[in-house]
Amino acid sequence: MTELVRSWVIGLTGMSLITAVVLTLTPKGKVRRVVTLVCGLGMIIVLIGPILDFDYDSFALYTSDSSVDLESFGTNLEEANEKLTRSIIQERTAAYILDKAESIGVSDAQFTVNTRMDEEGTWYPWEVTAEGTFTQSQKLELVSYMTGEIGIPEERQYWSTTDEE
């Protein structure tokens, strides 16, 4: 397809150059009008030539292949977008919990959040794994925060802790 366009542009350029040279060398008068007419007809032939030689079967095959490629690209883009959205929600939720933990005096905690997709196609925090050293009161406050603010029930909060108290 690109070869066809390339040859068409080269043909138009070549005919334009020939027309310009011939018209420059032609004297004014009836001869020039005839030469202008002939050059104009030549330009029209070069201009519509690819339409006459056009391979419609190849073009149909090319467009069907392109639409398949486009559909594949769209699917890959959707998958990448879902992965990115999921990752952002997991990381931001973990950061919110870590901020809360640091605000109540926890200094060595790590939180890993896993997500799920609801019926509407939206990712939401599903479960969390907490690792670190927590006092009993810090743990209770974080459990309450994750249940109330984040929406992760206590039964989906997994703790790997070293208790300080």
Q: 50-68 pLDDT, tens per residue?
A: 777 666 777 777 777 776 6
State percent of the chain over pLDDT 90.
45
- Token pair 């901020």 is at which residue? 99
Q: Structurally, what CATH architecture does the domain formed by 87-163 represent?
A: 2-Layer Sandwich (3.30)
Tell me the residue type at 126. W
Compute φ and ψ for 112, nearest 5 degrees: -120, 120
The residue extents of the domains of the chain are: 2-76, 87-163
Judge residue 4's burial from the number of C-beta atoms within 10 Å of its C-beta, 0-12 exposed, 13-18 middle, 19 or more buried: middle
Res 1: pLDDT = 61
